[in-house]
């Protein structure tokens, strides 16, 4: 039943013959909130009113264009547009996967048919092979000579004549056998020629790249929850609310979403995308492959380094048994080049983790001496703690990606996180432009703290002439 019909709203204060149908939401102390239809026509400011019947009878999914009050009306408009868009991302993904599977199966069946037809044209049946060999060997002629009912002297003569003939034809026989063998080999090599196993492997490799998107989506979900908790806490505290820049938080969240959207393409067909840097053709991470070297510091050699050829990722694993240790990559980083390195964290780490550069004169020491890197987990601004943009950061958690930009000529290393905060080396710890440097990762454990394990991925490495 219509709730409105059960209520008797009063007559309009201004237009006595009309009953109240609207409430005015943008009011001052002297205003009466109840208005009739004529009030709306006279005022011509429909955004200042709510229709009482709609308020009482609308369902939870109904969104008013003019309620609740906001500073930015575009927020409400955008929300309505998004809600009215009935495209369901989950259904879209499911349909895309289904279509993808069907199209792949159809394509595979088509290619399978064509490839089999091609192979059948080259096929050599056993009977054909036997006939060719039988003709070349002249086995029937040899049999006939041996079956003759003649004296052995005559048979001896006939055999000699036959043998001489065959030996005279050795070159022709060689050519015929060589041709036959090549035909057989070609037929046997057909599976290798079509590289079906390699195509399958490449396809799975591309499919596995979805894991990066999944990781980014999960991290973004966690970040959304964190910001929502912050908003809930701050909104309930008026003192905090006065000093809280909500627009900055919304922009930061939007920027995070843009970052993850740009860096996480469904790249089924190996299409290179300049925005998808981790998998772009500029990623030169192979330059670091198998170049890891371990420091003499405590049990460095227990650090495990693994190169994933499918995803172009170098993983560095530190187990709980390692108290102190470091690894560096024996690839020279020179002053006439610039370098971009991206590192992804997979957990919250432990006490402290530092990555940066060591030079060729300090290979037997640690980064603790030069402080030419950035410290994570442990708060220490001496390690890459000069703020260029945003604020100082040292947090380490799953999914965070740090970009390190190295300019030896300018003696500087900059570190940038997902939130566009940029830190760099302190002035007293700048690089020596005359030195050759190496990428390094150092792990440590503070006193009276629990042992920890961690996994860090180098997902991108590029040597460029300029940024």
48-62, 81-95, 266-280: range with lowest mean pLDDT = 266-280
Residue 357 pLDDT > 90: yes
The pLDDT confidence band at residue 367, using thresholds 50, 70 and 90, is: confident
pTM (whole model) above 0.75:
no
Better pLDDT: 274 or 56 = 56
Return the CATH class of domain 285-464. Answer: mainly beta
- Is 70 exceeded by the pLDDT of residue 271? no
Asked whether the predicted pLDDT for residue 86 surpasses 70, the reply is yes
Identify the pLDDT of residue 249: 53
pLDDT value for 235: 64
Span 429-446, pLDDT tens digits: 999 999 999 999 988 776
Residue 387 clears pLDDT 90, i.e. is over it: yes
Q: Is the pLDDT of residue 278 over 60?
A: no
Per-residue confidence band for 260, with pLDDT thresholds at 50, 70 and 90: very low
pLDDT of residue 17: 92
Q: What is the mean pLDDT of residues 140-168?
A: 85
Q: Is the pLDDT of residue 155 over 90?
A: no
Q: What is the mean pLDDT of residues 233-250?
A: 56
Q: 320-340 pLDDT, tens per residue? A: 877 788 889 999 998 899 999
Higher pLDDT, 314 or 229: 314
Assign 38 a pLDDT band (cuts: 50, 70, 90). Answer: very high
Highest mean predicted confidence (pLDDT) among 77-86, 267-276, 379-388: 379-388
* pLDDT-derived band at 268, boundaries 50, 70, 90: very low
In the chain, where are the structural domains located?
Answer: 3-81, 95-202, 204-273, 285-464
Three-state SS string over the chain comes to: CCHHHHCCCCECCCCCCCECCEEECCCCCCCCCEECHHHHHHHCCHHHEEEHHHHHHCCCCCCCCCCCCCCCHHHHHHHHHHHHCCCCHHHHHHHHHHHHHHHHHHHHHHHHHHHHHHHHHHCCCHHHHHHHHHHHHCHHHHHHHHHCCCCHHHHHHHHHHHHHHHHHCHHHHHHHHHHHHHHHHHHHCHHHHHCHHHHHHHHHHHHHCHHHHHHHHHHHHHHHHHHHHHHHHHHCCHHHHHCCCHHHHHHHHHHHHHHHHHCCCCCCCCCCCCCCHHHCCCCCHHHHCCCEEECCCCCHHHCEEEEECCCCEEEEEECCCCCCEEEEECCCECCCCEEEEEEEECCCCCCEEEEEEEECCCCCCCHHHHCCEEEECCCCCCCCCEEEECCCCCCCCCCCEEEEEEECCCCEEEEECCCCCEEECCHHHCCCCCCCEEEEEEEECCCCCCCCCEEEEEEEEEEECCC
Confidence bin at 270 (pLDDT 50/70/90)? very low
pLDDT score of 93 more than 60 = yes
pLDDT bracket for residue 171 (50, 70, 90): confident
């Amino acid at each position: 039943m219509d709730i409105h019909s059960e209520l008797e709203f009063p007559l309009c204060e201004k237009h006595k013959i009309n009953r109240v149908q609207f409430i005015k939401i943008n009011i001052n102390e002297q205003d009466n909130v109840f208005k009739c239809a004529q009030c709306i026509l006279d005022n011509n400011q429909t955004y200042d009113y709510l229709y009482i019947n709609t308020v009482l009878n609308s369902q939870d999914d109904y969104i008013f264009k003019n309620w609740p009050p906001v500073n930015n009306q575009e927020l409400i408009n955008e929300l309505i547009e998004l809600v009215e868009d009935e495209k369901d991302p989950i259904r879209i993904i499911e349909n895309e996967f289904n279509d993808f599977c069907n199209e792949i199966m159809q394509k595979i069946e088509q290619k399978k048919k064509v490839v089999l037809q091609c192979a059948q044209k080259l096929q050599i049946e056993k009977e054909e092979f036997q006939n060719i060999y039988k003709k070349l060997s002249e086995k029937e002629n040899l049999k006939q000579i041996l079956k003759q009912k003649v004296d052995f002297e005559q048979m001896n003569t006939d055999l000699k004549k036959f043998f001489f003939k065959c030996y005279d034809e050795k070159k022709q026989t060689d050519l015929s056998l060589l041709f036959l063998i090549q035909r057989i080999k070609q037929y046997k090599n057909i599976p290798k020629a079509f590289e079906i196993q390699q195509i399958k492997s490449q396809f799975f490799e591309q499919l596995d790249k979805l894991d990066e998107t999944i990781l980014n989506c999960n991290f973004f979900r966690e970040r959304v929850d964190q910001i929502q908790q912050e908003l809930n806490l701050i909104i309930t505290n008026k003192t905090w609310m006065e000093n809280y820049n909500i627009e900055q938080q919304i922009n930061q969240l939007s920027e995070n979403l843009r970052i993850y959207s740009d860096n996480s393409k469904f790249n089924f067909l190996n299409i290179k995308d300049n925005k998808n840097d981790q998998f772009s053709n500029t990623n030169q991470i192979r330059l670091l492959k198998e170049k890891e070297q371990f420091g003499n510091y405590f049990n460095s050699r227990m650090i495990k380094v693994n190169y994933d050829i499918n995803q172009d990722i170098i993983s560095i694993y530190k187990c709980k048994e390692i108290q102190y240790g470091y690894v560096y990559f024996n690839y020279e980083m020179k002053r006439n080049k610039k370098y971009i390195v991206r590192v992804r964290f997979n957990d919250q780490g432990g006490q402290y983790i530092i990555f940066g550069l060591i030079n060729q004169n300090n290979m037997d020491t640690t980064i603790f001496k030069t402080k030419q890197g950035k410290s994570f987990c442990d708060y220490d601004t001496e390690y890459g703690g000069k703020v260029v943009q945003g604020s100082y950061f040292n947090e380490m958690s799953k999914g965070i990606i740090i970009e390190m930009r190295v300019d030896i000529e300018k003696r500087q290393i900059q570190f940038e996180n997902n939130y566009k905060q940029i830190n760099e080396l302190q002035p007293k710890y700048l690089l020596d432009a005359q030195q050759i440097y190496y990428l390094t990762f150092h792990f440590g454990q503070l006193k009276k703290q629990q042992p920890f394990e961690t996994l860090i991925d180098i997902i991108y490495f590029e040597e460029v002439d300029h940024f």
